[in-house]
Structure 1
Amino acid sequence: MTDIQWQEELIRAIGSGELLQGTLSQLRRKDGELSPKTVVRPVQLKQGLHYQFEYHYATKVTHENLPPEQAGEKLVDLLSEHYKQALVKMPDADLQLLFNKKGKAAVLRKPPTAKADKAAAATHDRQKQRVIGAGQAAPFLIELGIMTADGAVHAKKQDKYRQINRFLETVNDVLPYLPKDKPLTIVDFGCGKSYLTFALYHLLAIEQKRDINVIGLDLKADVIDFCSRLADRLGYDRLTFQVGDIADYNAVTAADMVVTLHACDTATDAALAKAVGWGASVIMSVPCCQHEAFKQVRNDTLAPILSQGLLKERFAALATDAARGNMLEALGYKVQMLEFVDPEHTPKNLMIRAVRSEQKPSLQKWEQYVQFRDALGLTLSLEKMLSDFWPSEFKK
């Protein structure tokens, strides 16, 4: 394949949307200005199909989105002048390009490793997750040290950036369940440094212009002071932070959405009980450190699991969250268990997402919970905390 031929094929593939991914590596000259690796992939923006050039430097990753006609020229220029090799994935073939010292390309055509439908889905998911796209200089991300002033994500903050976007993706999915005819009240229990609290406010109040009031609660006064000062600098006048304990918090009598991320052990249960009591339309909880069930769980059939400390710990955590979800379902909530972030970033990656439905409390779900609870010998705090909400037929 001649230089003209591979260049024309790449430009055609980009123009038709058939280029699924390109990875460029090994610079011909280390001049410090170009990234050692560049990844090219299609993205769907409001303006239509674009190609995102992701530049990987030693200490940062930057992004550039180009329309197909510019992307084709950019890709050909990078390959012709700056890189020694590239792997380009298309629906019908993978192309491996290897450049000699004179810049002549040897092109190897291999069977495809990325199918068009899967790649399209991945592209859609990627855009959906990145509610705050790279290159969008969100003020709160700059203040929190995740982005530079020009919207580039700091290399060491890539995991946090992905976590924030994953969280906002899950929020976007449940927006239809929130009331539309009144201001929204949102409470974030155990907000900590409040990366996700600020992200939630940015999405709803800044981007979507929703009428909201967001309250962040945490036990650490110094953290709350930091968050309050940051909210003032950003001009987030409907975002407030308070010092307090979840179980004792009574500053509001109703809330539309309750968020609790990594509240330890039964603090998660206290937050779930508050949410149910306030009639929250949406509950989003990432539990942490479920010690209660670990101390109680017993079942002779499960001895191979329960006799091993590590396995018992993991089983107890899963059993606790399964019971929590079952109890919420018994009260009429629709519940999903989601992977919050990739397990490689944190093992505490399970999110309980519940939305209030019009369904009546379910005796079947309650009986299912009771059978599960008794089989494992559990006495769980959440059941007691929700005692005022159990219908009379549940107590027989």
Structure 2
Amino acid sequence: MDTIKALLNDILDIDFIQGTVSNPRTKDGVLKIKVRPVEMKDGLYFQCESFTKTQAFHENLKAVDAAERLTNAMSEFRQMQLSTRDMSYTVLVSKKGKVTIQKKKQSGEVKAAELSHNRSKRYILTEGIVVPFLKDLGVMTEEGRVVRSRTDKFRQMNRFLEFIEDILPQLEKGRELTILDFGCGKSYLTFAMYYYLHELKKYDIRVIGLDLKKDVIERCSRLAEKYGYEKLSFLVGDIADYDGVQDVDMVVTLHACDTATDYALAKAVGWNARVILSVPCCQHELNGQIQSETLAPVMDYGLLKERFAALVTDGLRAKYLEAAGYDTQVLEFIDMEHTPKNILIRAVKTGKINPDAQKEIAECETFLNAAPAIGKLLCSDHE
């Protein structure tokens, strides 16, 4: 690894553009590392961004420390791509640890890296481009600028679309896809989803938004008609009772309160939905059930018990989906500074059932004296 360290020590300077460490030897832990230079108050640093399956971690390191960090990482990876203003490098590490470094002179003039620590993020919905529904929903001005008080909503919509972007390979083109949005509310994200998939990505989709508030549904229906979104419709209805479709490709449930999320998940499983995106809300059910003397140091404090119960609720929901044949992730929806309701459950139908899921669920429920609605609903569906 000394040759890798020597290379990094040589090129980690003001002319460095970017680097990527990829192709891990195992799928556990860090899957990729990106590095770029950043200018901070006390000089030049190198930001190493490490990605796991569900999270990203940042470190800002001086050149010598960044070289050490990346060199050590290469014991767990097969490849590293590096570029400077003059050269590009490919570093390959074989199974036996043999290091090969390929280098190539950059063709043409290469711009220096953007050194701002708070580099502006690439958004799917871009400020400056007027989007009609964003204007009418009060997120954008007539000129396409994001309304300051709606910045968090703008970020939330973009984050949600990033989750959809990740699952695009699961959505077929060439046929109409049916997407249900339970508890759509004012439908900021429903309109964003339709706009992204239909207008930008050219999918043939039919989106149905369902909510109990009649006045909200009427307003959303008027807006959909105004924009000519012919396959976007809104209905007044309850998640538990809805049976207006037979086949569904994707189910979205955002902030459906308490067990309404469970009804939506159970419906999605019953329809064999290919994709499920769920942001739970107000998980009260297990807070009234959980009993454990062993966990008394937590359970004796109402606030801690409430938060613990919410995490258990969502963990069991995710595990029940695994038991139903879904590849399931629990992801951060948006930074805590923007909203406390920041967990998203993303599930993709694979048909491969986690063989340990049911056992893990049973042991957890027995230990905590818990019987969540999702378990009862899925069991009743299979009886």
Determine if the TM-score, normalized by the shorter chain, exceeds 0.5.
Answer: yes
Shift in Å at residue 309 of structure 1? 0.2
Counterpart of 1:151 (choices 117, 133, 144) is: 144
In the alignment, the residues of structure 2 paired with residue 348 and residue 342 of structure 1 have an alpha-carbon distance, to the nearest angstrom, of 9
- SS class of match (2:239): coil
1:112 maps to 2:107: no
Q: Which residue of 2 aligns with 1:55?
A: none
Is the 2:287–2:305 contact (alpha carbons within 8 Å) kept by the matching residues of 1? yes
Counterpart of 1:373 (choices 361, 365, 377) is: 365
Q: Between the two proteins, what is the percent identity of the paired residues? A: 51
In the alignment, the residues of structure 1 paired with residue 38 and residue 189 of structure 2 have an alpha-carbon distance, to the nearest angstrom, of 41
Shift in Å at residue 172 of structure 1? 0.5
1:160 maps to 2:106: no
- SS class of match (2:329): strand
- SS class of match (2:356): helix
Q: Which residue of 1 aligns with 2:37?
A: 91
Counterpart of 2:186 (choices 188, 193, 200) is: 193
Q: Which residue of 1 aligns with 2:74?
A: none
Q: Which residue of 2 aligns with 1:100?
A: none
Provide the TM-score with structure 2 as the length reference.
0.71
Is the 1:188–1:258 contact (alpha carbons within 8 Å) kept by the matching residues of 2? yes
State the Cα deviation string for residues 30-81 of structure 1 (Å, max 9, x = none).
xxxxxxxxxxxxxxxxxxxxxxxxxxxxxxxxxxxxxxxxxxxxxxxxxxxx
In the alignment, the residues of structure 1 paired with residue 281 and residue 37 of structure 2 have an alpha-carbon distance, to the nearest angstrom, of 42
Is the 2:16–2:37 contact (alpha carbons within 8 Å) kept by the matching residues of 1? no
Decide which moves more: 361-370 or 272-281.
361-370
In the alignment, the residues of structure 2 paired with residue 254 and residue 141 of structure 1 have an alpha-carbon distance, to the nearest angstrom, of 30
1:364 maps to 2:356: yes
Shift in Å at residue 370 of structure 1? 0.8
State the Cα deviation string for residues 175-216 of structure 1 (Å, max 9, x = none).
111233421000000000000000000001111111000000
In the alignment, the residues of structure 2 paired with residue 228 and residue 282 of structure 1 have an alpha-carbon distance, to the nearest angstrom, of 25
Q: Which residue of 1 aligns with 2:80?
A: none
Pairs within 5 Å for 1:300-379: 300-359=293-352, 361-379=353-371
Q: 1:219 to 1:366 in 2, by over 3 A?
A: same
* Structure 2 unaligned spans of 5+: 1-13, 19-35, 50-57, 61-112
* Structure 1 unaligned spans of 5+: 1-12, 20-89, 97-109
Q: Which residue of 2 aligns with 1:104?
A: none
In the alignment, the residues of structure 2 paired with residue 353 and residue 362 of structure 1 have an alpha-carbon distance, to the nearest angstrom, of 16
Q: Which residue of 1 aligns with 2:128?
A: 135
Structure 2 letter corresponding to 1:266: T
Structure 2 letter corresponding to 1:384: K
- SS class of match (2:37): coil
- SS class of match (1:337): strand
Is the 1:179–1:256 contact (alpha carbons within 8 Å) kept by the matching residues of 2? no
1:126 maps to 2:118: no
Shift in Å at residue 116 of structure 1? 7.4
Structure 2 letter corresponding to 1:332: G
1:205 maps to 2:195: no
Q: 1:289 to 1:226 in 2, by over 3 A?
A: same
Shift in Å at residue 362 of structure 1? 3.3
Shift in Å at residue 384 of structure 1? 1.2
Counterpart of 2:266 (choices 268, 273, 281) is: 273
Q: 1:275 to 1:333 in 2, by over 3 A?
A: same
Provide the TM-score with structure 1 as the length reference.
0.69
Q: Which structure: greater helix fraction? A: 1
Structure 1 letter corresponding to 2:121: R
Shift in Å at residue 320 of structure 1? 0.4
Is the 2:208–2:235 contact (alpha carbons within 8 Å) kept by the matching residues of 1? yes
Structure 1 letter corresponding to 2:232: L
State the Cα deviation string for residues 245-271 of structure 1 (Å, max 9, x = none).
000000011110000001011100000
- SS class of match (1:166): helix
> Is the radius of gyration larger for structure 1 or structure 2?
1
Shift in Å at residue 126 of structure 1? 2.6
Q: 1:298 to 1:230 in 2, by over 3 A?
A: same
In the alignment, the residues of structure 2 paired with residue 157 and residue 17 of structure 1 have an alpha-carbon distance, to the nearest angstrom, of 37
Counterpart of 2:377 (choices 368, 378, 385) is: 385
Q: Which residue of 2 aligns with 1:218?
A: 211
In the alignment, the residues of structure 1 paired with residue 306 and residue 162 of structure 2 have an alpha-carbon distance, to the nearest angstrom, of 30
- SS class of match (2:330): strand
Shift in Å at residue 300 of structure 1? 1.2
